[in-house]
Structure formats: C-alpha cells, structure tokens
Amino acid sequence: MSEFDANPFADPVDINPFQDPSVTQLTSANQQGIDDFNPFTENSRLTPPNSDTKVPAGQKTIPSQPAILQPTVEPSPQATATAAQLALLRQQEELEKKAAELDRKEQELNNENYNSKRNNWPPFPPFCPIKPCFYQDFSADIPAGFQRTVKMLYYLWMFHAVTLFLNLLACLAEFIVKADYGVDFGLAILWFLLFTPCAFLCWYRPVYKAFRSDSSFNFFFFFFVFFCQIALYVIQAVGIPKWGVSGWIAALSWVKANLAVAVVMMVVAVFFTVCAILSLFLMQRVHSIFRRTGASFQRAQEEFSQGVFTSSAVRTAAASAASAAAQNTFQGN
C-alpha cells in the first residue's frame, strides 16, 4: 500500500541541484568578485579580485574616484581693469569721507576756540555799540615766568596814557592863561589821540604776542619801536616849548609868569621822567629774557618770510601785480 500512497507526479529523489556544495561555492565566489570589481581602476582590469583579501575591522573601504581636471579660467584684461577701477573708487569715497570728517572736527575746534577766546579788550560795557577788538588773558596766554613782565608793560602803557592826558590838561591851563599857547593845546590833543593807541598797537601788542608764541620777529619789532618810544619820553620830559609837551624846560619858564601852571607842568614832567626810567628798566628786562629764549635775527627773518608767503592777501596782491605786469608787457610788444 505504501507504493500507492506516494505521489506519482513527484521526482523519485527530492534533490535540489543548486544545493550541491560545489555549485554553491562557485556561485558565491563569482558573486563576491562581481561586487568588488571596479571597471575604472587599473588593478581591476589587470588582476581579478581576490576573495581571500580581508578588510580590517573598523576600516571602511573607499572606492577610488577618477581624477577630474578643472580648467583654469584667467580673467580678461578688461575685467581686471574694471575691478581695479572699482577698488580706486571705493578708496576715493573712503578718503572723501575721512576728509569731510576732519573738516567737520576742525570747524568744531575753531568754533570752540572762537567761543573760548572771544575778544575781551577794551572791556566796553554790553550796551556800548563799540565791541572789544583784542583778546587778552595773561594766565592763559603768557607762561607763568613771564606774566609779571608782561603785566608791568601793560601798566606802563596805562601810565603812558594817563601822562598824555595830564599833559593835555597842563597845555589847556597854558592856553587859558595865555591865548598864545593854543598851538600847544592843539598838539597836546593830537599827541593824546595818536600816541595812546599807537603805543598799544606798536609795542605793547607785539611784546604780548612775542611772549605768547615765542616769536623772534615780534621781539625785534618791539625792541625797535620801544627804543623810539624811550627817545620820545626823553624829549617829552625835557619839554621843548611850543611842542605841545609839558616838560621841565616849559614848566620852569612858567615859574615867574604863573606858579600854578608851572606846578601842574612840573607834575607832568615828573610823569614823563618816570615813563622814561621805567621804559629803560623794562627794555633791559625783556632783552635779558629774549637772550635766554634762544631767539635770533635769522629766526625772525624766517618767521617774517613764512608769514608773508602764507598770507592769502599777500599772495593775491602778488598774483595781481604779476598778471598786471604781464599784460603791460604784452600790450607794449
């Protein structure tokens, strides 16, 4: 009965030919060779893959890639010139911005200096229509060691102005007593109106600026003008008649005619004498300071030349004179 129970359609032996050990070993070897084969490598073309080669654990196999050459593109001369031009434009913009910033800061500094050093002399009251013309501050402008000397020169100028005013009053007394002395009174008014501002501008301000900026040119200018001022003080103290000054000779001539007028004129003569003595003393003091500062006549010449050539008014005048001379030359030809 067992023969009837079997499947007549089944193979007599249930054997799978692909399960044979020799067949499976051959198919696995071929599969591994196909997986490891890389047609782009030179070794794979020459030698078949070795199935026995083992890769260490933890190390990944990196498939080799073919070398790709990237072509180098050189910029054209036009592109290089354009890039350089753009770089120059950017630099120019930056420089212009910096220049504008420097101009703004300089303007602010000038405004601050103008506000901090506003003219304060003469000290006119606020309601006066005439405003101060000069800036004067001994503590801010003059070094501490020279402030006393500059102040003494300032006080000498004030004493000089008072002396000229007293001389005007003495000549007025002469004119009241004798009408023949009207010329003296007129000259006394002229000396007061002329010598008071001229002394301030011609010798006091130069010595003030000389000590403020250590200027050799201003020192030399002061010495020249102040020497003339001392000579003038001596002449005024002597008191030549009919010169509009109340000196010793003019005062003594009034002793017999009118003692009151003579006394007034003698007081003025004393003031002129004191002015001459103080001027000699201060000139010697300024000269000693001048020698210690290392100033020289050559340095004064350099300052004068620099001041002349840097002055816009002088440059404009020189240019106008040169153009006028050139036009006259061409017209003459």
Report the chain's mean pLDDT, rounded to a whole number: 77
Alpha helix stretches (DSSP H) within 117-146: 138-141
Burial of 178 (0-12, 13-18, 19+ CB in 10 A): middle
Rounded to an integer, what distance in angstroms lies between the CA atom of residue 17 and that of residue 93? 88
Q: What is the largest CA-CA distance in the chain?
A: 196
**Average pLDDT of the segment spanning 304-313:** 51
pLDDT of residue 295: 58
Domain extent listing, the chain: 101-135, 146-306
Tens digits of residue pLDDT in 117-153: 788 888 888 888 888 889 999 998 999 889 999 999 9
Look up the pTM and report it: 0.59
Q: Can you tell me whether residue 200 is helix, strand or coil?
A: helix
